[in-house]
Structure 1
Amino acid sequence: MLLASVNLNKRLGATSARSRLASWLREHRVHAMLAQEPFKPVDRTPPTLPGFTFAGGDGHLAAWISENLAPPQVTSPKPWLLRIELDWLAVYQVHLNAYTAASRTAQLAELTVLAAAENDRPLLICGDFNLAPRPEDGLFGEETSSFTTETERGHLRSLIQTAGLTDTTADQPPAFTFERLVSNQLSRFRCDLALLSDHLTLATTVTADTSVRTGPQAFTDHSALLIDVPVTLDNAEPHDVLFSLNELISDGPTSSAKREYQPHKTAMSRQTPSPASQAVTRHLTGPLGVRSLLDHGCGRGADVAHYRSTGLDADGFDPHDAFGWPRPERTGFDLVTSAFVLNVLPDPWQRIQALKDAASFTRPGGHIVVVTRSAEEIAKAAADGGWTAHHDGFWSSKSKGTFQRGIDADEIIALARKAGLVPAADTPVLPLPGVCHTVLFKPQT
């Protein structure tokens, strides 16, 4: 879905500016409008945006959602911060203090604490930060502006590092999002930012649109950020019916009911061990000195039987109760395998949680092997099968509730770092053509 983040400089109350904004939103097919300083006074009734529903906020920070989408949960943890729940993605919309560096520094410190409390949930922090992240991002005339202090930049770097974020518009040379004449000198800043969980950067596009402040249809003095995130929201329910048809229809083409994911339906019924499990025992367990092994997400357990047949102290776990592999009481396994689990989970947050859970069974100094279907394979299967796009992947079967995303090694590693895991050094490469795999290491501390 496409988000627009822009400082409207209190202009939404003007009919002409509101009309030009509405045209711009339609032209770009924006799904959610996140506005800083949208109108004044801050406690007035929010102006109507054609095609959108007001989701929450006030004249300092506000959010609108396309009228055909279910409104997200919007809360205001701080006067300068809105938290918006877009399914699995937490969005922080911010407007930091425009007047004092001390206030911005304190707000950045609070942001760092709040982001850490998300417990590695995928995160987007966007809005007007009122600072230049790097010296070259703020100029007064042709000289570096002194408006932003190094203390502020240090706190911003701490936020980015602590929360595992990427400054998505940090191009060289910088694209300034705000320009104004001050004392006959041009003041230029890249202050409208989109900080994104680093493992989402490959699936997200962020662009700055200067036409909203410089073109003939301009409606503000800041550039807008267009942020295309891999999130699929539910459709809005009609308000003029006595009951929802979705209570009666479980899988019709017009159904807007939230579908139940059923990843267990992707599990194969095997009579023989999988190629992945055979590669693990032939090429990995010996060199790593593995004696105990857990197959995490083992399905019906054919691979567990294979591991046991080779003399390993092996167990299995699958959260689908009908498969009959309950959660083991023991931990401290030398090796945990996760084969074709991450690619059937419908969002990055669930994948991180699955990796954290797998890591909880692994002894410090132990290893985890992750095997996934590749991005190339899934792209081909989706094209051949006419799969419907959903979040960052596809419904492989809407009626079954099964999802697939191709995940390459770099993405596995990015997700694994969120779970406290790192790539293992000097481990054999498994001969698994057509799929991706990574051997991970659980540090001692």
Structure 2
Amino acid sequence: MLLASVNLNKRLGASGARSNLAAWLREHGAKIVLAQEPFKPADRTPPALGGFTFVGGDGHLAAWVSEDLAPPTVSTPAPWVQRIELEWLLVLHVHLDAYGGASRAAQLAELVTMATAEPGCPLLVCGDFNLAPRPADGRFGEETSAFTTEAERQALQQLMQVAGLVDTTADDVPVFTFERIFNGKPSRFRCDLALLSDHLTATTTVTVDPSVRSGSAAFTDHSALLIDLPLTLQAAEPDDVLFAMSELTGADPASTPTRREYQPHKTAMSRQAPSPASRAVTEHLTGPLDVRSVLDHGCGRGADVAHYRSAGLNAEGFDPHDDFGWPRPQQTGFDLVTSMFVLNVLPDPWQRIQALTDAASFARPGGHVVVVTRSPEEITKAAADGGWTNHHDGFWSSQSKGTFQRGIDPGEITALARRAGLVPAAGAPVLTLPGVCHAVLTKPEA
């Protein structure tokens, strides 16, 4: 899903600029437009943008979504920031103070609070920051610009560090997004930014497009950011349908899942024997890690729990699907918590982080969590063979059943696990399991 972020410098009220913007959006297939300074603040009615629905904002910040998509939830915590909920992704759309360094530093401090209100939630902070993140990102003539203060840069670094964000356009050689002549000298800045949760950078492409500020098709004097996110948005409800299809056919509405009715429990296999992954745990991990108690988190029907018990371990299981009969245990403080083929059936990074956070809550401090997933290579092949449909960062393995699959490699497991407060286990044995990936993690001591 392509999101466009651009400072329009109050030009959207002009029909020529509006027409050029609409053509550019069509050319690239953008589905969401986030605009800083889109029109004059005094204009109370936002200009219509062909093919898009206005979903909130004003002359400082405004957002549009493609008319074939359901409008997201948009709020305005402060005049300089919009909060936009895109499925599992939280977007903070910003236009920081253009005139005061102290004000920008204070706004960045407020962003830290907003960004950490839901710990671990996948996050994009984008817009016009009106600052140079590094000295090299701001130039006045041939010298380093003094416009950005060190306090602002420290505040920005604090935001990125605390929220686990990456400055996605920070190349060794800066690509300036704003240039103008000031007092006879060129003033150049990389001030239009996209800060993204670190675990999303492998699946997200961010492109700086300077073409929008030059030539006959120009519509602003800032470069635009094109952010291609691993995100599938809900389709808009038709406004000319009188009856739902289930009413016309007599079908039970619950029998036809909508796009949001995920049913990951339907991927659980009916095993008569323990999984190869659980056998590898007892053969290679429980001894070296001195494991005596195990919780299988997301245990399905419990075949692996029976295996752990047969190996002499104090083992329990938990699965959120009630019909499997493994309710949430009262016991915590397990030496080891296993998560076998759970993350790859959850349809977005936020659910995976939440599942890992819950799994980690059962481990004792200093205990371990082992995560096993299907490999990207295996899922890619299965998707091609089965004609699976793309969805978010993976595939519908069966849209009628509501089942999802994504291949997850060890690096991604670790990046997600860090959001759940887990770290890689130093010196842990490596499991050899064909077609799958794994990571052995530790819950740090308090």
Distance in 1, matches of 2:257 and 2:341, equals: 29
Contact 1:70 1:234 in 2 (8 A): yes
Tell me the secondary structure at the aligned position of residue 40 of structure 1: coil
Match of 1:126 in 2: 126
Distance in 2, matches of 1:384 and 1:334, equals: 40
Match of 1:344 in 2: 345
Distance in 2, matches of 1:120 and 1:271, equals: 37
Match of 1:385 in 2: 386
Contact 2:257 2:400 in 1 (8 A): no
Matches within 5 A, 1:390-401: 390-401=391-402
Contact 1:237 1:244 in 2 (8 A): no
Distance in 1, matches of 2:57 and 2:172, equals: 34
Shift of 1:221: 0.3
Contact 1:246 1:256 in 2 (8 A): no
Letter matched to residue 226 of structure 2? L
Label 1:202 to 1:261 Cα distance change in 2 as closer, same or farther (>3 A): same
Match of 2:357 in 1: 356
Contact 2:262 2:404 in 1 (8 A): yes
Match of 2:335 in 1: 334
Match of 1:175 in 2: 175
Tell me the secondary structure at the aligned position of residue 415 of structure 1: helix
Matches within 5 A, 1:230-309: 230-245=230-245, 257-309=258-310
Contact 1:246 1:257 in 2 (8 A): no
Shift of 1:44: 1.5
Distance in 1, matches of 2:215 and 2:332, equals: 61
Label 1:223 to 1:157 Cα distance change in 2 as closer, same or farther (>3 A): same
Distance in 1, matches of 2:257 and 2:226, equals: 26
Distance in 1, matches of 2:252 and 2:234, equals: 13
Contact 1:57 1:76 in 2 (8 A): yes
Label 1:417 to 1:53 Cα distance change in 2 as closer, same or farther (>3 A): same
Label 1:92 to 1:248 Cα distance change in 2 as closer, same or farther (>3 A): farther
Unaligned runs of 5+ in 1: none
Shift of 1:369: 0.4
Give me the TM-score of the superposition, normalised by structure 1: 0.98
Matches within 5 A, 1:315-330: 315-330=316-331
Distance in 1, matches of 2:139 and 2:374, equals: 47
Letter matched to residue 232 of structure 1? T
43-52 or 401-410, which deviates more: 43-52
Shift of 1:251: 11
Distance in 2, matches of 1:356 and 1:329, equals: 17
Aligned-pair identity (%): 75
Matched, 1:7 2:31: no
Distance in 2, matches of 1:210 and 1:85, equals: 28
CA RMSD of aligned residues (A): 1.5
Matched, 1:212 2:185: no
Label 1:42 to 1:245 Cα distance change in 2 as closer, same or farther (>3 A): farther
Tell me the secondary structure at the aligned position of residue 285 of structure 1: coil
CA distances 1:33-60 after superposition (whole Å, capped 9, x unpaired): 0000000134510100010000111111
Shift of 1:245: 3.4
Give me the TM-score of the superposition, normalised by structure 2: 0.97
Shift of 1:258: 3.6
CA distances 1:152-175 after superposition (whole Å, capped 9, x unpaired): 000000000000000000011010
Label 1:256 to 1:180 Cα distance change in 2 as closer, same or farther (>3 A): farther
Tell me the secondary structure at the aligned position of residue 433 of structure 2: coil
Tell me the secondary structure at the aligned position of residue 288 of structure 1: coil
Distance in 2, matches of 1:16 and 1:206, equals: 27
> How many residues of Structure 1 are paired with residues of Structure 2 in the alignment?
443
Match of 1:56 in 2: 56
Unaligned runs of 5+ in 2: none
Shift of 1:120: 1.4
Shift of 1:218: 0.6
CA distances 1:216-249 after superposition (whole Å, capped 9, x unpaired): 3110000000000111011101112334437768
Matched, 1:144 2:144: yes
Contact 1:251 1:399 in 2 (8 A): no
Letter matched to residue 345 of structure 1? L
